Structure 1
Amino acid sequence: MNKVYDVIVAGGGIIGSSIAYQQAKLGKKVLIIDRHSVGAEASSAAAGMLGAQAEIHENAAMLQLALKSRSMFPQLLQELEDWTGINAGLVNKGMIKIAQSSGEAAHLQKQVHYHAGWDPEVKWLSGKEMLQQEPALSTKLEGGMLIPNDGQVMAPQLSKAFAQGAAAHGADIIEFCEVENIMFKDQRVKGCETSQGKFSSDQLVITTGAWAGELLKKTGLSLPVSPVKGECFSVVPSHHIIQSTVFSEGGCYIVPKKDGRLIVGATTLVNRWDKDVSLKGVSSLSQKAIDLLPDIKYAKWEKAWAGIRPQTGDGLPYIGPHPAYEGLYIAAGHYRNGILLSPITGKMISDMIERKVPEKEEALYQSFKVDRDSISLNLV
């Protein structure tokens, strides 16, 4: 196998594969290295919501980035399907953010006013109006925020499409290979040392999710990226009972997939690395789901799983160059928005590598730079 590349991507999840795809499209010789199989971690566990406006409402830069990324999906997914034959299951049936109490309703109506400034199609639905749109929802709900342009995809298929799309453009993929160290010379990256030998490159991107902090410490950089375990399960109803994704701030979402399954998630267990699924977690999610969608209790059980999501201290992902070493880039800490932000993250890092960041995007990109706040840096 070739040992010299234009770009090495450490981490073969959806973020790493998106970056690899963008660079491979430009004719770069790209290598993806993953310690397991490509897309095996958070990328395969995600429900695939494109919740640009369901979950993001406090940071304008994050919302702007999310909306830009959401707008990229239709064209990008068609492009990926043309190259790989993989249909990522894009569904644009909208999302309803549920209010289960009068207090939640008042809070959500303020969010409606804010989000309508970004997307005039966002609107408030009374309980009666919500039932007209989704008759199977509980009659006890107060109402909800309709976000018609927040769609969803099948996350494992999208991750696979990015990786295979990169390979179709000439990228190499090495699985079950650990990046053990990063090689430098005169403050510039020169490649990496792995469990399968050394690979050389003047450009290296770290996209190892919740494990990014461990590798970055070897570069002298300490970033607050921590693991958050999320438990989910899926069921198969006898017929389609909802079309829109349902999202509750009470800690539950229900995502109707294109293949007929309903994915229910997710618990939030901070600083947990294990992927065990507890009866407590499943029981809690089940009751919350029934409270939202009573008929879900009749659906056939399929399976349960857990994923490890990377969270940062301020809730924003790190996307940009290492503050000390030229040619070293970081894209990590996307937490629950990795699927949603995968298209724009791939473009951002590719723009930075090519030194072709659009002038109108410079301020936005700076909001996610690695050294945006106080960090610990001890050069190796």
Structure 2
Amino acid sequence: MKRIIIVGGGVIGLSIAFELMKKGCNVTLLEKGKLAGKASGAAAGMLGVHTETRGNPSMTSLAKESRDLFPALAEQLLNCSGIDIGLRQNGMIMPAMTGREQHLLQEEANSPQGMKEELRWLEERELRKMEPSLSRSFIGGLYIPRDGNLLAPRLSEALAISAATMGAVLHEGTEVNTLIMKGRSIIGVNTTRGPLYGDEVVVAGGAWSQHILRRVGIKLDAAPVKGECISVTPKEGFLNRTIVSDDVYLVPKADGTLTIGATEQVGSFSEDVAAESVSRLLAKACTIAPGIAAAAWGKAWAGTRPKTSSRLPFMGRVPDVEGLSLATGHYRNGILLAPITGVLMADLLSDKDCERRLGYEYTRQWDRNRGSTTSEVSR
């Protein structure tokens, strides 16, 4: 039975652990703090294939495949853990306030990709009917019917319980100090609990992955990006679908709350939320849906996401280092890409040939000799 060590207990590491357990592997997952205690727990839980991957065909293909795994995954997790992840496939709307915005969104709806995803332009009257709480300043909007959202903390909790129920060992409060090398091979990790040995080590530590890898001479071209969000509780039925503009999104949740996000601050690991950020998010949200001003206050929080220069995640084996793989750099799409990342990495780590499936450029960005423009790892 193959022994696999996963470093990082966010939604990506937990998804990999869950999928590996299905394949009968021996899995130990190590998390420095609490499971999903960082970006995974702070995520808004949007499943926005179109809004998050515009202009990146490779990313769009991967995101669509991952999004379409969610209904079956939600059922599996409910059966295994008893947790409902709050999956809502109720669509998204990108509203337009100017003629130029209308023109650009109509072009997207009429593009081959838009028609394939069934994107549809909503005239003002239809937009009002679908979402009467939106500002009267909007002249229409782009409707994205297949996207949706979920409750991100519940997804991570369900994955953790399900993986543990199947036999995975999950250690919270366990920091990985260094990777144990033998020649050019990784054979384990040194932790605050002592050394642990395995056949494969997967680094899935999000924005903290670079700290671990730097100690063995591997540098990632990635940066931490802090994001702040707030939540409120509006009247029932205030919004039925996720609303996305260029600088703010509104995500109505299955528990009745509305998540509003998010700011971006490159290079910061701080979890503090600035009063100015709260004020700015609320002001922007109220221009989209004025009734938010009367909603009950919820809370504010922050998380740090890993962003690569290409905005493509690292997924695959590290070249020239046996026994070491990465699954990190998912940036704003960690929740959306969690299911497919778990499946693909489990295939790879269980010795199943998945070169074809990982042909989305995510493995190719390692290898400068293949002419990729996204070579992001150096020693």
Note whether the superposition's TM-score is higher than 0.5. yes
CA distance in 1, matches of 2:361, 2:170: 28
Q: Is the 8 A contact 1:320 1:369 kept in 2?
A: no
Residue equivalent to 2:313: 317
Instruction: Give 1:118 deviation, angstroms.
Output: 3.1
Residue equivalent to 1:122: 119
Instruction: Give 1:362 deviation, angstroms.
Output: 4.4
Residue equivalent to 1:253: 249
Residue equivalent to 2:375: 374
Q: Is the 8 A contact 1:226 1:312 kept in 2?
A: yes
Give deviations 1:68-126, integer Å, cap 9, x for gaps: 0000000011001111001100011100012232222222222222332431x211112
Instruction: Give 1:324 deviation, angstroms.
Output: 1.9
Give deviations 1:42-72, integer Å, cap 9, x for gaps: 0000110000112211111100000000000
Q: 1:150 aligns with which of 134, 147, 150?
A: 147
Question: Greater CA deviation, 11-20 or 178-187?
Answer: 178-187
How do 1:1-380 residues align onto structure 2 when only pairs under 5 Å count? 6-114=3-111, 115-119=113-117, 121-249=118-246, 251-358=247-354, 360-364=356-360, 366=362, 369-371=365-367, 372=372, 373-375=374-376, 377-378=378-379
Identity of aligned residues (%): 40
Relative distance call for 1:76 and 1:215 in structure 2 (3 A) is same
CA distance in 2, matches of 1:368, 1:40: 31
Instruction: Give 1:367 deviation, angstroms.
Output: 5.7
Relative distance call for 1:359 and 1:273 in structure 2 (3 A) is closer
Question: Greater CA deviation, 235-244 or 145-154?
Answer: 235-244
CA distance in 1, matches of 2:21, 2:315: 19
Q: Is the 8 A contact 1:319 1:370 kept in 2?
A: no
Instruction: Give 1:355 deviation, angstroms.
Output: 2.8
Instruction: Give 1:360 deviation, angstroms.
Output: 4.7
Instruction: Give 1:376 deviation, angstroms.
Output: 5.3
Instruction: Give 1:222 deviation, angstroms.
Output: 1.0
CA distance in 1, matches of 2:196, 2:249: 42
Q: Is the 8 A contact 1:190 1:203 kept in 2?
A: yes
Count residues in correspondence. Answer: 373
CA distance in 2, matches of 1:91, 1:171: 29
**SS of aligned partner of 2:85:** coil
CA distance in 1, matches of 2:123, 2:274: 35
**SS of aligned partner of 1:310:** strand
Q: Is the 8 A contact 1:348 1:357 kept in 2?
A: no
Relative distance call for 1:204 and 1:245 in structure 2 (3 A) is same
CA distance in 2, matches of 1:370, 1:171: 29
Paired residue type of 2:303: G
Q: Is the 8 A contact 1:224 1:312 kept in 2?
A: yes
**SS of aligned partner of 2:360:** helix
Instruction: Give 1:238 deviation, angstroms.
Output: 2.9
**SS of aligned partner of 2:231:** strand
Instruction: Give 1:218 deviation, angstroms.
Output: 2.0
Q: Is the 8 A contact 1:188 1:202 kept in 2?
A: no
CA distance in 2, matches of 1:215, 1:46: 23
CA distance in 2, matches of 1:213, 1:196: 21
Give TM-score scaled by structure 1 length.
0.94
Q: Is the 8 A contact 1:231 1:268 kept in 2?
A: yes
Relative distance call for 1:375 and 1:147 in structure 2 (3 A) is closer
Instruction: Give 1:366 deviation, angstroms.
Output: 4.6
Instruction: Give 1:359 deviation, angstroms.
Output: 6.3
**SS of aligned partner of 2:315:** strand
Paired residue type of 2:336: L
Paired residue type of 1:118: K
**SS of aligned partner of 2:310:** coil
Q: Is the 8 A contact 1:221 1:375 kept in 2?
A: no
In structure 1, the gaps of 5 or more residues are none
Q: Is the 8 A contact 1:204 1:329 kept in 2?
A: yes
